[in-house]
Amino acid sequence: MIKCCIFDLDGTLVNSLYDIANAANSTLALLGLPVYNIEKYRQFAGNGVAKLIERILPNEYRTDEYKQKALDIFNEKYNRCCLDTTTPYIDIVETLEELKKQNIILAVVSNKPHDLVKKIINNLLPDIFDDVFGNIAGIATKPSPDLCLHVIRNHNIKACECIFTGDSDVDMLTAINAKMLPTGVSWGFRSKSELKNAGAKYIINTPKELLKILKNNNI
C-alpha cells in the first residue's frame, strides 16, 4: 500500500527552467563568457548548483577558484530571480491536494540548495508538504537515497510504501537506491527515453495519472 509520495522539484513540480537559465546566462555574461540557448539547460540542471556551474563553464575555466567565483555570482542572481517566471505545472496543485485528502504523506527532495527549495515551495506550493529538503551540507545529494530514507524513517513507514516521482535519470536512480517505486514525468526537463533507461517503472504524462498509479498499487 502506498502511504507516501516524494517529489523532485525542478522539472517535476515547477517549471523553473527559464529562471535557472537566466541566472546562469547572466553569470556567464558577467564573466565575459559565452551564454547558452535556454533549451540547453534541460541537460545542465538536475545534479545541483555546483554541477550546473561546472557544466556551463568552458573546460579551461573549470578550476576550483573560478568555479567558486561563478557559483557565488549565480547564487546571488538566482536568489533574486528564482520566482520571476517559475510556476507549478498544470494540475500539480490539484493533484497534490487530492493526495493530501487521501492522507498521503507528501515530501520534496531536491538537489537545489535547501533554502531556495524552501523559498520556492513556501511561495508557490505552501501548506502542502510534510517534509521539504534541498541540498544540506554534510548529507549526500541524489542519487544518494539518504534524504528519502530520512523521510520514511521520520514517518515510520517502509520504502516499498513510497513513490518517488521525478523528471531525470538522477531521480529514477534515487528511487531505485531507496527501494521506492520510480515514476518519471514526461513534462519535465529530460526525455522519456532517459527515464526509461534509468529504470522508471511508470512514466506519466499528466500529474493526475499519479492518482491512478496510487489506486492500482493500493488495490
**Angstrom distances, CA of residue 12 to CA of 16, 17, 89, 91:** 10, 11, 8, 12
Residue 195 is predicted with a pLDDT of 98
Residue 219 is predicted with a pLDDT of 52
107 and 68 fall within a common domain? no
9 and 111 fall within a common domain? yes
**Angstrom distances, CA of residue 76 to CA of 18, 26, 80:** 16, 11, 7
CA dist., res. 63 & res. 93, Å (int): 42
Residue 46 is predicted with a pLDDT of 87
129 and 25 fall within a common domain? no
Task: Copy the grid coordinates of residue 138.
Answer: 554534510
CA dist., res. 134 & res. 3, Å (int): 22
Positive or negative, the CA dihedral 124, 184, 104, 135 is: negative
162 and 209 fall within a common domain? yes
CA dist., res. 45 & res. 10, Å (int): 9
9 and 31 fall within a common domain? no
60 and 135 fall within a common domain? no
Residue 216 is predicted with a pLDDT of 87
Residue 70 is predicted with a pLDDT of 97
Overall pTM surpassing 0.85 (yes/no): yes
Residue 127 is predicted with a pLDDT of 96
Positive or negative, the CA dihedral 194, 200, 202, 208 is: negative
Q: List Cβ neighbours of 134 (8 Å cut-off, separation of 6 or more).
A: 9, 110, 111, 112, 113, 114, 115, 116, 117, 118
42 and 99 fall within a common domain? no
Three-class SS of 81-137: HCCCCCEECCCHHHHHHHHHHCCCEEEEEEEEEHHHHHHHHHHHCCCCCCEEEEECC
CA angle 149, 151, 156 (to 5 degrees): 90
98 and 9 fall within a common domain? yes
Under DSSP, the state recorded for 33 is: -
155 and 69 fall within a common domain? no
CA dist., res. 40 & res. 47, Å (int): 15
Q: Which residues of the chain have pLDDT under 70?
A: 219
Residue 119: give the domain boundaries: 4-15+87-217
Residue 27 is predicted with a pLDDT of 98
135 and 98 fall within a common domain? yes
Residue 174 is predicted with a pLDDT of 98
194 and 118 fall within a common domain? yes
pLDDT digits (tens, 9 = 90+) for 122-173: 999 999 999 999 999 999 999 999 999 999 999 999 999 999 999 999 999 9
Residue 129 is predicted with a pLDDT of 98
146 and 207 fall within a common domain? yes
155 near 105, Cβ under 8 Å? Answer: yes
Q: What is the CATH number of the domain that holds 165?
A: 3.40.50.1000
Residue 218 is predicted with a pLDDT of 75
